[in-house]
Amino acid sequence: MKNLTEPSEKKHKKYKNLLTIALSHAFLGILCSNILLVYCKVGPSVDVLRWSKQEYVRYSLDFVNEKMISQEKSTIVIYKEQKTITVIGWIVGVDRELEEIFVSVGNKSYPVVYGRQRKDVAQFYKNPDYLNCGFLVQIPREEFPVGFYPLYLKVLLANRSYYNYPGKRIWIEIR
| pLDDT averages per 10-residue partition of the chain, 175 residues | 54 64 80 70 52 72 88 81 94 86 91 95 94 96 93 82 67 93
User: Do residues 141 and 174 touch, judged by C-beta distance below 8 A?
Assistant: yes
**pLDDT score recorded for residue 25:** 78
**pLDDT score recorded for residue 72:** 59
**pLDDT score recorded for residue 142:** 93
- Whole-number Å distance between alpha carbons of 137 and 145: 19
Give the N- to C-terminal CA distance of the chain in Å, as an integer: 83
**pLDDT score recorded for residue 175:** 93
**pLDDT score recorded for residue 49:** 46
How many CB atoms lie under 10 A from the CB of residue 109? 17
